[in-house]
Amino acid sequence: MSVVIPTMNSGPWIRQMIHSLIDQVYANIEVIIVDGGSSDNTVAIANSYLGDGDLKILELAPNLGISKALNAGLREAAGTFIARMDADDIAYRWRIHDQVEYLVANPKVALVGTGVDAFGRHEGPYRSPLSNKKILDEYLVNNPFYHPTIMFRREIYDSGLYYYDESLRCEEDYELWGRLITEVEVANMDQSSIRYRVLGGSAQWNPKKYQSKMKGVSAFCKANAIFSNELVIALVEFQNSAFIRPNCYETLRRYAAAADKNDLPRLGWIHDAILREPSYERFQKWFRRTKGWLL
């Protein structure tokens, strides 16, 4: 199996990440590090491990972006199963073994993720929706996977389904899920496979993030025959700002009612509340209280 890891000035963390893969209980792991033009000692540290197992190091020109780096790594991957990991995370010893075992035992599942144990700016275990249906229900309002935890069958890469949009500079995984999860069966395991480093917050409103969300939500909505400009804009605005304006609230409320009636993808964690609360003001109060913004 293969693990693809993009790096960019990852010197402070890359050694610990590499050791976590060397220590895996699963044998026969191909590690592919794709460096996007680091100016620190990232590549030098990675090179010091050449000869310790099956390690490949690709050095790309600077500023090509993470999507191009990931696609370059995928082209080099030889494994029957391919996993993602980030250079600042730490894999538990059982990570690769347990995910390979899951895919072998569940031949209909093409991609599987896991939960994470966060550390750094945020601490504690986090979980993603487990079943294929729950993942579809979550997508419209939230990313249903922790990207560095996923593992997938190489068939979905060979068939052209699994590729990163190289025009995107961030949220490349969310856009990919919008195309992919309507085509294949996916799942998450109810366990943590990595220690997930949270280095800091990022601004919710980001034009590059908005572009990725628009592409992903649009593809997902078209595949489920629920596309409308009004709905897509309301969903992306919510995801990109964590705020719902009155007109977007009405759009999402109408969609939620139609989803229940016609067995369509739900609105994840806000679905029941947007139907239950009788007014925009009441929904906003519930929303602020749930987010911890209201004492």
Q: How confident is the model at residue 48 (pLDDT cuts 50, 70, 90)?
A: very high
C-beta contacts of 280-289 below 8 A and 24+ residues apart: 280/246, 280/249, 280/250, 283/244, 283/249, 284/244, 287/244
pLDDT of residue 294: 62
CA 39, CA 208: separation in Å to the nearest integer? 24
Q: Please indicate whether residue 130 or residue 294 has the higher confidence score (pLDDT).
A: 130
Q: How confident is the model at residue 200 (pLDDT cuts 50, 70, 90)?
A: low
- Angle at 44 (CA atoms; ends 70, 148), nearest 5 degrees: 30
pLDDT tens-place string over residues 78-100: 999 999 999 999 999 999 999 99
pLDDT of residue 218: 97
> Which residue carries 């391919």 as its tokens?
82
What is the H or E stretch that residue 237 is in?
helix 229-241
Residue 29: what residue type?
I
Q: Please indicate whether residue 236 or residue 206 has the higher confidence score (pLDDT).
A: 236
> Which residue carries 């990163």 as its tokens?
164
Q: By percentage, how much of the chain surpasses pLDDT 90?
A: 87
Nearest residue to 215 (alpha-carbon basis) of 234, 236, 231? 236
Q: How confident is the model at residue 65 (pLDDT cuts 50, 70, 90)?
A: very high
Nearest residue to 268 (alpha-carbon basis) of 142, 145, 180? 142
pLDDT at 222 over 60: yes
pTM of the predicted structure, to 2 decimals: 0.94
Average pLDDT (267-279) is: 95
pLDDT at 293 over 80: no
Q: Are 17 and 85 in contact (CB under 8 A)?
A: yes
Q: Are 123 and 197 in contact (CB under 8 A)?
A: no
What is the H or E stretch that residue 152 is in?
strand 151-153
Q: How confident is the model at residue 284 (pLDDT cuts 50, 70, 90)?
A: very high
pLDDT of residue 205: 59
Average pLDDT (263-272) is: 96
CA atoms within 13 A on the CB side of 247: 6
pLDDT tens-place string over residues 8-38: 999 999 999 999 999 999 999 999 999 999 9
pLDDT tens-place string over residues 133-168: 999 999 999 999 999 999 999 999 999 999 999 999
pLDDT tens-place string over residues 102-139: 999 999 999 999 999 999 888 899 999 999 999 999 99
> Which residue carries 């590729």 as its tokens?
163
CA 155, CA 152: separation in Å to the nearest integer? 8
Burial 179-215 (b: 16+ CB within 10 A, else e): bbbbebebbbbebbbbbbbeeeeeeeebeebbbbbbb
State the average pLDDT for the chain.
Answer: 94
pLDDT of residue 201: 56
